[in-house]
Amino acid sequence: MKSVYHASVAYAFRRTLGNQFLRPTTLRCISSIFRNFFFSQSRHAFFPSRVPVSRVDHPLDRKLPFDPKWVNVYMDFTPYWIRVLAFLLWNYGSRSLCVVREFISSTGRLYTFAATVYRKNLSTTDRPFYVANPKFFTIHLTDPHLMCIPSLHVMVAIHTYTKFAAAIRSLNDAENRAAQIEEMRQGAFAICQSILFVKQHSVNCIGASVYAMTRFDPELFPPDEAEAFCSRFLDTSPLVVPITKVPKEIIAEVRAYITDSYRHFREEGKTAESWDEPILNFLRQLPQK
């Protein structure tokens, strides 16, 4: 299998749920995703609590066009990381069981990690109500849009490409899989960019989410990797989906803002009592819904 994108999501589910070594971890991960995102968000939407909801829009958002064609990339967010499991299991068999289990386990922990912010302060943006494409109808139906910061799209995408590279290295096959590692890195960029073009997130969400990832797994995503990620945001590389044309000066402005935002969170985090304190401080100074 040459491309991770050729891996089957169905195969991943069949192998992880059908294997006694992987099944308990897989079920815990699925539980964490539903509990910390879907169930929790729906509860807040239908039974509003005293948890504040901050509006996180930024003027720069209006300089980026709404482009419905990016919805396919946006919706590929879950298959993107599940295909990694199928790729590893298909190509490395029983040798990959430990790294696959850790990959699944850490993904479940990631949702729990992000939820520490959601439990204290929710966040939203002004997204357009667009249902001409059925996929947008699905988004509006299943996502009450109350968990923008930190963005799980950004966090899971970063986690996937960094964890995939680490898994390949642990299997002593990095030299042969350089193309696949780069493929996953570019896929992460595409997913993270898609959230802006389908207006599910604000530029304010990016820096905070990048910072969150440096605190979730500082070994795999250290500050220098975070800086590189911010500096390549809205990259026009041919490997990134070339759908939306954005003027270079706007790209530079967005990129600079995201980088400065990440640096602000990182500096404040150095003296904070908890990793989420800088994000909560930021959310509490924004307008409330």
Mean pLDDT rounded to a whole number for the chain: 93
pLDDT (average), residues 100-118: 98
pLDDT (average), residues 130-145: 88
Residue 102 has pLDDT above 90, yes or no: yes
Rounded percentage of the chain residues whose pLDDT exceeds 90: 83
3-class DSSP state for residue 143? coil
pLDDT (average), residues 175-187: 94
**Structural domain contains residue 289:** no
pLDDT (average), residues 148-167: 98
At 244, the pLDDT band (50, 70, 90 cuts) reads: low
- pLDDT for res 237: 60
Within 8 A by CB and 6+ apart from 131, the residues are 137, 140
At 241, the pLDDT band (50, 70, 90 cuts) reads: low
Residue 239 has pLDDT above 60, yes or no: no
**Structural domain contains residue 9:** yes
- Residue span of the structural domain in which 178 resides: 4-284
Q: Report the first-to-last Cα separation within the chain, whole angstroms.
A: 48
Alpha helices in the chain (DSSP H): 9-18, 23-33, 40-46, 71-75, 77-92, 97-118, 134-142, 152-170, 178-197, 203-216, 223-231, 248-271, 277-284
**Structural domain contains residue 54:** yes
Contact 181, 174 (CB under 8 A): yes
Residue 240 has pLDDT above 70, yes or no: no
At 183, the pLDDT band (50, 70, 90 cuts) reads: very high
11-15, 184-188, 233-237: range with lowest mean pLDDT: 233-237
- pLDDT for res 48: 80
**Structural domain contains residue 87:** yes
Q: How many domains does one find in the chain?
A: 1
- pLDDT for res 236: 62
**Structural domain contains residue 125:** yes
- pLDDT for res 242: 53
**Structural domain contains residue 256:** yes
pLDDT (average), residues 259-275: 97
Residue 50 has pLDDT above 70, yes or no: yes
